[in-house]
Amino acid sequence: MSKANDHYDLETIRHSAAHLMAQAVKQLYPETKVTIGPVIEDGFYYDFFREKPFVSEDLEKIEARMKEIAAGDQKIVRQELPREDALKLFDSMNESFKKEIIEGIDSDQALSVYTQGEFTDLCRGPHVGSTRDIKSFKLLHTSAAYWRGDERNAVLQRIYGTAWRTDKELRQYLKRLEEAKKRDHRKLGKELDLFSVTDEIGPGLILWHPKGARIRGLIENFWKKEHYKNGYEMVYSPHAAKVDLWKTSGHMSFYKENIFSPMDIEGKEYVMKPMNCPFHIQIFQSHLRSYRDLPIRFGEFGTVYRYERSGVLHGLLRVRGFTQDDAHLFCRPSQIEEEIVKVLGLILFVLKAFGFEEYKVYLSTQPEKFVGAQDDWEKATHALKTALKKTGLAYEIDPGEGVFYGPKIDIKIKDSLNRYWQVSTVQVDFNLPQRFNISYIEENGQRQQPIMIHRALMGSLERFFGCLIEHYAGAFPLWLAPTQVILLPITDNQLPYVEELANRLEKEGVRVEKDLRNEKIGFKIREAQLQKIPYMIVLGEKEVETKTLAVRKRRSKETRTMDLSSFLEEMKVQVREKTIDCL
């Protein structure tokens, strides 16, 4: 690698690679029109207008042409053009999408274009100095996209690529990508029979299969137990409610495009709930509350429905129906800080149980459009900051990114492939208490409006589950594994012993399966390994005679002979300590 591109940042290199790709595409397929080519995480894409989708042979050709152009050392030259001239230029090139972009720019300020060889693109820049500075890149895959992301517009062909400073960085990235593919939760979800999405039910609506449901149940039980220990009460609320409720909450005006279309029930309009907050508020309102009752903490696995374009749906990560591990805290203004400290403590405790110990934390502050008094905003932001400090969490400020009703903290977790996932959120809210006019009686006998805290630790159970599958590559730790132990008899002679053991393990609460098929033991072991079952117990003549177990862990070739009680003890220790997969 030359030192030439050391001084360019990755974004500049990647965006220049997008231009390079567009240039190669125009050379190879001159009928194609260019649209936009932004930088994304780890790479870039470019959207082209063209009838025929690109196939993988096209990608190979385009990549080869990119290498040729890059080696040709074409200088990349910036030029400023008056808006009118830019319009004429792209019109003369028949680039109607670029023309449309320019027409959409109000100001009359000069626009910049970048030229390399025969190729010119409208662009703000910056770019590298020469095509030779783009060295370590690879085209990855294609997909369809819509012009301006709107499915009523023209269908575009998108090509994704990645670019790095050095070949070594590129190789490392491609290796990570390979590993991520193996861990793709959609692939593992099928192989391990955890969940599915069917066309008959509709996109973005998840079916949890028995094994997925077992894991979800374990997560829910753990979550509930910890919440009861921390002073929460559990509630349940319906999946639909009258439109009027969402008018009061403001969702019909601020959030309408995400709500499923209304249905008519006896002349009244109902919608599927996009949020759980108004329900918990109604439960709060069902009694006269005193300052002595506060804080009140209502938790719920609340299933919500939100309209998302079918184009953005993705496995368990972007869905239309999902369950939030939601809770709403109603507190006195003086209690905010302490409550947030407690919430952060609970978040860290819960995330740690799933093996997440590294986070990125963001504090999002007052946006331009907001409700509530300035004084309240300052107090709430201060409370969030102090709480973060007390918890010892390093954080970044995301200026102006708070919700219109209050500031918030967002937490992203780092998984075993060093990827970050947005999960937890803690939001202070002055708006809903006011909209629903809720109050409690203060010490002085006056009515006072409580402050609400919205918070979720895992965010959406669906998304969190997707993240867990990829984090563990489907090899769940013992406490979460849907099947913890599988019994593998060598011949039918061991069947009575298998039954006896299965009964005893089940009585101890162990999740156990039996493989009674008439197959070779080596085959059964391989299958159990593919199912990523933590413990395999092989049972032959010798084990029956001595009343022992030949125990094998999923990633080990070693077999240990144990009696049942020491095996149970070993399991219990691991479950209690929530040992992350060290099997």
Active site residue 9: no
Rule CB under 5 A: choose which of 454, 463, 524, 554 binds Zn ion: 454
Residue 452 binds Zn ion (CB under 5 A): no
Nearest approach, Cβ of 210 to Zn ion (angstroms)?
A: 31
Distance CA 65, CA 59 (A): 10
Q: Edge-to-edge, what's the strand order for the sheet holding 289-290?
A: 289-290, 440-441, 447-448
Q: Compare residues 76 and 219 and give the one whose CB is closer to Zn ion.
A: 76
Q: Determine which one of 138, 227, 320, 328 is catalytic.
A: 328
Residue 123 binds Zn ion (CB under 5 A): yes
Distance CA 319, CA 189 (A): 15
Q: Determine which one of 33, 211, 289, 306 is catalytic.
A: 306
Residue 281 binds Zn ion (CB under 5 A): no
What is the number of the residue whose Cβ is closest to Zn ion? 123
Q: Are 387 and 345 in contact (CB under 8 A)?
A: no
Q: Compare residues 277 and 344 and give the one whose CB is closer to Zn ion.
A: 277
Residue 277 binds Zn ion (CB under 5 A): yes
C-alpha to C-alpha distances, 170 to 18, 129, 178, 188, 417, nearest whole angstrom: 16, 21, 12, 26, 16
Q: Compare residues 344 and 452 and give the one whose CB is closer to Zn ion.
A: 452
C-alpha to C-alpha distances, 228 to 36, 232, 374, 444, 454, nearest whole angstrom: 51, 5, 35, 31, 17
C-alpha to C-alpha distances, 283 to 15, 289, 305, nearest whole angstrom: 52, 11, 21
Active site residue 289: no
Active site residue 277: yes
Active site residue 454: yes
Nearest approach, Cβ of 328 to Zn ion (angstroms)?
A: 6
User: 263: which strand partners?
Assistant: 270
Q: Determine which one of 227, 454, 524, 552 is catalytic.
A: 454
Residues 6+ apart with CB under 8 A from 538: 488, 490, 521, 525, 550, 552, 559
Helix (H, G, I), strand (E, B) or coil at 62: helix
Distance CA 242, CA 247 (A): 9
Given the rule CB under 5 A, which of 347-355, 375-383, 450-458, 498-506 is the region that contacts Zn ion?
Answer: 450-458
Nearest approach, Cβ of 99 to Zn ion (angstroms)?
A: 16
Nearest approach, Cβ of 433 to Zn ion (angstroms)?
A: 12
Active site residue 242: no
Distance CA 247, CA 257 (A): 14
Distance CA 91, CA 318 (A): 39
Distance CA 465, CA 459 (A): 10
Number of residues that bind Zn ion (CB under 5 A): 3
Active site residue 532: no
Q: Are 297 and 342 in contact (CB under 8 A)?
A: no
Nearest approach, Cβ of 22 to Zn ion (angstroms)?
A: 9
Q: Compare residues 276 and 484 and give the one whose CB is closer to Zn ion.
A: 276
Q: Determine which one of 58, 133, 325, 326 is catalytic.
A: 326
Given the rule CB under 5 A, which of 21-29, 121-129, 338-346, 402-410 is the region that contacts Zn ion?
Answer: 121-129
Given the rule CB under 5 A, which of 115-123, 237-245, 472-480, 556-564 is the region that contacts Zn ion?
Answer: 115-123
Binding interface with Zn ion (CB under 5 A): 123, 277, 454
Catalytic residues: 277, 306, 324, 326, 328, 408, 454
